[in-house]
């Protein structure tokens, strides 16, 4: 299943959108531009190619961009934008202050027929929260586009518990390698005590030390992998998570950081 998802992601080219600008109300133009760039980056992370206002200006020029911005939702402008930029959809909307709140209204329009493909509306009490709202907007809009049949590259989210397979396999392999090496190392120590010559004793000692070191490393990796797998299986699905396992000749460990419900 993972292989199929990976192959489909590699084979699919990202759908393209253009965001000529948003209608900003009660906000500095620079702030609105920065927020739209943040939104564009979040959409790109989700596998959708989105051209923000700076990209459009580079292609069409500043003056033509301004002309099209004033009629972004009209069919003739949609067709011209789509043709000039090679995009399939246009993102339009409003961003600004309404009373004491800040509102975000975004809409994805089909460049071919002007039909609405996705909608997002939200309010927040602080301007500093707008980047988080736009991150959520990117997620919800990409979900809606995926539901309409758009292939959103990387849209499929692999459940955290499924990732437990990887450290579990590493853990089993580490234990499977480490235990026999430890047994062989103990055998070499027995050979050392029973060695008939000094040369045989030195050889048994060196071999035993190497096997013990490698066995300890393998066991450390194995135990860290198994612990990581168990943790991934039992914890609730987080919003973000980073799992790290480490090992050295002097010790090993496992770390897990994230934001959980």
pLDDT tens per residue across all 261 residues of the chain: 333 333 343 344 567 888 877 888 888 777 888 888 889 888 888 888 888 877 777 766 655 655 555 555 556 666 777 777 788 888 888 888 888 889 999 999 887 778 899 999 999 988 889 999 999 999 899 889 888 877 555 444 456 667 788 888 988 998 899 889 888 888 887 887 788 888 888 888 888 888 889 988 988 898 888 888 888 777 765 544 554 544 444 455 555 455 444
Taking a C-beta distance cutoff of 8 angstroms, is the pair 87, 16 a contact? yes
Asked whether residue 7 is assigned to any structural domain, the reply reads no
135 with 164, same domain? no
Residue 129 DSSP label: G
Residue 14 DSSP label: P
Domain boundaries, position 121: 13-147
Task: Using the 3D structure, point to which of 147, 175, 202 is the last residue of a domain.
Answer: 147
Going 214 to 218 to 223 to 225, the CA torsion angle's sign is: positive
CATH number (domain holding residue 94) = 3.40.50.10070
Interatomic CA distance for residues 49 and 206, integer angstroms = 59
Q: Which residue has the tokens 């049949």?
A: 149
Asked whether residue 223 is assigned to any structural domain, the reply reads yes
Q: How far apart are the first and last CA of the chain?
A: 27
Asked whether residue 135 is assigned to any structural domain, the reply reads yes
Task: Using the 3D structure, point to which of 124, 147, 170 is the last residue of a domain.
Answer: 147
179: its two tokens? 């235990």
Task: Using the 3D structure, point to which of 147, 174, 204 is the last residue of a domain.
Answer: 147
Closest by CA position to 71, among listed 21, 126, 27, 130: 21
How remote is the C-alpha of 193 from its chain's centroid? Answer: 56
State the CB neighbour count (10 A cutoff) for residue 86. 13
Cα–Cα separations (whole angstroms), residue 217 to 27, 32, 163, 240: 58, 53, 23, 29
Beta strands at 101-110 and 49-51: parallel, antiparallel or unpaired: unpaired
What's the farthest any 2 CA atoms get from each other in the chain?
A: 96
Domain count, the chain: 2
Asked whether residue 155 is assigned to any structural domain, the reply reads no
187 with 212, same domain? yes
Which residues have C-beta within 8 Å of that of residue 22, sequence separation ≥ 6? 32, 36, 92, 93, 94, 95, 106
């Amino acid at each position: 299943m993972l292989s199929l998802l990976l192959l489909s992601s590699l084979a699919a080219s990202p759908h393209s959108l253009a965001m000529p600008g948003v209608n900003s109300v009660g906000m500095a133009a620079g702030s609105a531009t920065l927020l739209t760039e943040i939104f564009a980056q979040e959409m790109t992370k989700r596998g959708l190619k989105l051209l923000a206002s700076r990209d459009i200006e580079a292609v069409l020029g500043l003056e033509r961009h301004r002309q099209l911005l004033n009629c972004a939702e009209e069919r003739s402008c949609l067709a011209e934008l789509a043709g000039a930029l090679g995009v399939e959809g246009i993102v339009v909307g409003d961003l600004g202050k309404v009373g004491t709140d800040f509102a975000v209204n975004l809409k994805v329009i089909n460049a071919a027929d002007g039909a609405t493909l996705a909608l997002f509306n939200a309010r927040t009490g602080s301007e500093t929260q707008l980047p988080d709202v736009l991150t959520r907007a990117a997620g919800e809009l990409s979900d809606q586009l995926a539901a309409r049949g758009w292939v959103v590259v990387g849209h499929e989210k692999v459940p955290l518990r499924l990732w437990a397979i990887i450290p579990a396999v590493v853990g089993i392999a580490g234990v499977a390698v480490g235990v026999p090496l430890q047994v062989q190392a103990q055998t070499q120590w027995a050979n050392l005590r029973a060695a008939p010559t000094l040369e045989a004793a030195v050889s048994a000692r060196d071999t035993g030390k190497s096997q013990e070191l490698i066995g300890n490393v393998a066991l450390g990796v194995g135990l860290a992998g198994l612990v990581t797998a168990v943790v991934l299986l039992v914890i609730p699905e987080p919003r973000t998570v980073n799992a790290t396992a480490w090992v050295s000749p002097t010790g090993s460990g496992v770390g897990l950081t994230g934001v959980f419900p």
